[in-house]
Amino acid sequence: MMFIWYILIGILAGYLAGKIVRGGGMGLLVNLIVGIIGGVLGGWLFGIMGIWTTGVIGSLITATVGAIVLLAIVSLFSKRNS
């Protein structure tokens, strides 16, 4: 059952990050991938800063922040290559 929550949080975090960074969602699959990678990245970044979150809302915040950072990094590299 927890796996389903991780997927739903990943999709929602990717969607929110897409709305914040690009102004729109990027599709279900891309939102999921961005959200999952963002969750890992956000957890790592929050761990370095000594911030610990709990619960569904904490996981959503962590994944969304990580997804925003991920999209910002991708945006920097895509502008260089353009």
Q: Looking at the domain assignment, is residue 78 inside a domain?
A: no
Task: Check pLDDT > 60 for residue 82.
Answer: no
Q: Looking at the domain assignment, is residue 45 inside a domain?
A: yes
Q: Looking at the domain assignment, is residue 33 inside a domain?
A: yes
Please state the domain count of the chain: 1
Q: Looking at the domain assignment, is residue 79 inside a domain?
A: no
Q: Looking at the domain assignment, is residue 37 inside a domain?
A: yes
Q: Looking at the domain assignment, is residue 15 inside a domain?
A: yes
- CA distances to 1, 5, 47, 82 from 31, in Å: 20, 15, 23, 23
Task: Note the Cα 56 to chain centre separation in Å.
Answer: 14
Largest alpha-carbon pair distance within the chain?
A: 43
pLDDT at 4: 82
**Stretch 54-81: mean pLDDT:** 86
pLDDT digits (tens, 9 = 90+) for 17-64: 988 887 666 677 888 888 889 989 999 999 999 998 889 899 999 999
Range of the domain at 58: 2-73
Q: Looking at the domain assignment, is residue 82 inside a domain?
A: no
Q: Where are the alpha helices (DSSP H) in the chain?
A: 2-22, 28-49, 55-81
